[in-house]
Structure 1
């Protein structure tokens, strides 16, 4: 028996021995056409040939019988058992089962001449609700129940009243309105003119050095808190 290592040690098959497979491999030159075997010939293994064979019928398989066949004498004289006879009987409907009533069933004389009782007539009436001036009255089943109306408190009446408009409220000014003469003749003060000027920014002169350090920064001393924050974390320090 060949081991797995021996199978893996075999070289891969050369798939270029079939030069007619133009759709798979790119060739510099088209191969010469052969007159004897113009198509590609494939090599099949014994396993593929075995799978290509038609499935054989089983040994107990019998061809389908025709519409007429001879019945054996034993089948003609066969008698069903008690179990088969009981299973062959139709299912008995349950007790109290009645067939479906037809859609247009004729009414009996008793149904046609029946009279409703006063109780049924009372229940058939719709429920009536009647509002009274001094309260709420509901009539149901011949009984009248009157519920007195609640009186709101002064606080509720105050909250229920709409919000009043402020006395100094002014409506929206129209789009076009006349300008008074004193506004046309007014003049801005020195303070307004000073605030109206844009902020002046000093331009960079030609000899500006952005990397120069001021004398105050050279003499500055860090505080203990800055020195503490500048130290690395203890867990990141190597011993």
Structure 2
């Protein structure tokens, strides 16, 4: 832009104003673009704290440690007091013996009075007077002291009749006595077998056949990761035919079949 002032022509350059965010980003980007400082050119510090000035260089190879006053105090041995414990009885001066307490001190020395309406605790066993100990109960009191006899229902239905206690049979019937008798063991019952029993000479000297050894061994099959499929049905199972007994057991019970 050209401006004429008193015959002098001046040139003024105008640039667009940039926002503050753009200036901040440019400064931050410039800061990130700077190379990282080399930490190895500084001498090794003997402390983990930042100091205002560099510590003096030590001539020796061993670091000197200085104890703080608190550490020095903790390093000292504990003081053991060998004084004899003062007796609880001590001499009282004559002034203390002739002292007269004031009215306020006497009022404070009195124990606090109980609250209004407070009653002492009643003893666990209250004492009985002689009349209560020699009293004789009347026939009415003896009658009331007997437990109540509730009537027993004849059945469990709501219309069951009430039976007094005098009509309850006190003797069990023959069928109840038969059911109460314990069961007898079977005549051929031999009881529990002993843990140790004699083994015959033939059983000790027998030798298992090749087929028996083959059946005693575990069944060998491939693992799952080797291609074994547990859902495959064998050819013998697919061509097997059930026996009449198995077919009979597979049928439902006649009492559970619905009649047409």
TM-score by length of 1: 0.27
